[in-house]
Amino acid sequence: MSKQVTDKLLIVFLDSPLSVDAHEVSAWDQSLFEQVEEHTCEVARSVDARRHVYYSSEIIEDDRWSRTRFIKYKQSEGDKGERLKEAFRNGFKKGYGRIVCIGVCCGDIHTQDIQKAFDLLNTRNAVMGPSTNGGYYLLGLSSPFEPIFDEKPWGKDTLFKKTYLELMMYNKSIALLEEKVMKSAKDIVV
């Protein structure tokens, strides 16, 4: 599959420390969460793409996610899979050809990681950034593929494997980024 698409969308999924996946909740501390969120915001601002930020609760107007750089949305109802599916669906409906989604749990993500994901989506159906906890810190798609959001073990150490195997089962071409550590209060150094 060879594809040269210029319309790129970066989706940032914001979860408060209290709504982060179950295996991380006990480790999160508000000030450390804010440090990682600030790092993620700085990285997202420097990415050459349109940017949408999805809030887990109400949209905050006067925060670091300025409307001059980000279009703000409230996440839809449902489990994490339903909310991600709707965010990707919204992006593809708006005509974006390459969509990359990140959260705010990886203090080790860099602009180059996201740019590399967009570049890989020129020739691949999907790109994933696996994390050491069995999940993923980045997911990118070059066309809609909603089954990967259904009935997944969100917050469990089998999420990456199940998502990857489903992509393979449907003969999707996949690129993998470097594995990274999902940050918790004890190991955040930003």
Q: Indicate the pLDDT class of residue 146, thresholds 50, 70 and 90.
A: very high
In a domain, 20, yes or no: yes
Residue 86, SS3?
helix
Whether 51 maps to a domain, the answer reads yes
The amino acid that residue 130 corresponds to is P
When pLDDT is averaged across residues 63-70 and rounded to a whole number, the result is 91
Say which DSSP state 152 is in: -
Strands 136-141, 126-130: parallel, antiparallel or unpaired by DSSP? antiparallel
Q: How confident is the model at residue 144 (pLDDT cuts 50, 70, 90)?
A: very high
Beta bridge partners of 138: 102, 129
| Range scoring the smallest mean pLDDT among 51-55, 134-138, 186-190 | 186-190
Work out how many domains the chain is built from and give that number. 1
Specify if 39 maps to a domain: yes
- Residue 90 is part of which domain span? 8-176
| pLDDT over 50 (residue 45) | yes
> Residue 90 falls within a domain, yes or no?
yes
Residue 188 lies in a domain: no
| 184 in any annotated domain | no
Which residue type sits at 167? L
Query: Which residues in the chain belong to E strands, given as ranges?
Result: 8-13, 50-55, 71-74, 98-102, 126-130, 136-141, 174-176
71 pLDDT above the threshold of 80:
yes
In a domain, 26, yes or no: yes
What is the spatial distance between Cα 128 and Cα 75, in angstroms, rounded to a whole number? 21
- The pLDDT of residue 181 is 82
Residue 16: pLDDT band by 50, 70, 90 thresholds? low
CATH code for position 67: 3.90.550.10
